[in-house]
Structure 1
Amino acid sequence: MKQFAFPKYERLLKRSEFVQFTNARQKIHTAHFILLWTYTEDSTLKIGITVSRKVGNSVIRNRVKRLVREFYRLNKSRFVMAHYNIIAKKGAEQLDFQRLSRELANVLERLHK
């Protein structure tokens, strides 16, 4: 069961960690998400999730974050060792887990190419 965990050391928590993505040249846009990533010297896998107020109120934003965290937790092996920031666009609140998973899985496949 530990392989499906999402411990704190795999999360981007500090503002300074998110700021490193401001000039990220590596990004992929989809209909509902923007995936930014940077490779790091320590070769660790970390993920941050950003959902702005444009997406909805706090209940909706937290739901989107929960769905993205669940996708990450179940698909950790698809991620390359890097730091990621997944930004939800307006309209992401309408996705169910199946559609969200399909969209993010396609992004990760494009990333591997």
Structure 2
Amino acid sequence: MIGFPKTERLRKRPDFLAVSRQGHKYHSVHFIILLLPSGSTVTRVGITASRKVGNAVVRNRIKRLVREFYRQHKELFHQADYSIIAKRGAERLDYQGVCQDLIPVLRRSLGKQC
């Protein structure tokens, strides 16, 4: 199934805070990826875009693009909790730009975690 069900989402503030405090941090040009290996068999992803990135329309667009990236590239995510944070400048990206920005960072994180 290609989708983004509730079981694959970080939804609660304590989950985001745990990933932020204990997770490994990886930077790309337009995103920060926080990764916390978990004992469960489910990969969970949370996406954050602050008001620094833009207004609500812009922030929601970035989050939609990252969700679509996750749906199309699930093989790059292993069993862990991910928090993907958009930086300033991410509002200028299209889907291809999101892919070019996130794929190298996720491949690098896979190499370090395996």
**Pick from 45, 48, 61: which aligns with 1:47?**
45
1:65 Cα deviation from its structure 2 partner: 0.2
More off after superposition, 50-59 vs 33-42 = 33-42
Q: Give the TM-score of the pair, scaled to structure 1.
A: 0.93
Quote the Cα distance in structure 1 between the aligned partners of 2:30 and 2:72.
20
The sequence identity of aligned pairs, in percent, is 50
1:25 Cα deviation from its structure 2 partner: 4.7
The corresponding residue for 2:60 is 62
1:111 Cα deviation from its structure 2 partner: 1.0
Gaps of 5+ in 1: none
Over the aligned positions, Cα root-mean-square deviation in angstroms equals: 1.0
The corresponding residue for 2:102 is 104
1:6-47 deviation per Cα after TM superposition (whole angstroms, max 9, x unaligned): 111000011111110232351111110000010112232000
The corresponding residue for 2:84 is 86
Quote the Cα distance in structure 1 between the aligned partners of 2:91 and 2:51.
11
Structure 1 segments (4+ residues) deviating >6 Å: none
1:66-105 deviation per Cα after TM superposition (whole angstroms, max 9, x unaligned): 0000000011111111000000000000011101111111
Quote the Cα distance in structure 1 between the aligned partners of 2:92 and 2:58.
9
Q: Give the TM-score of the pair, scaled to structure 2.
A: 0.92
3-state secondary structure, aligned to 2:20: coil
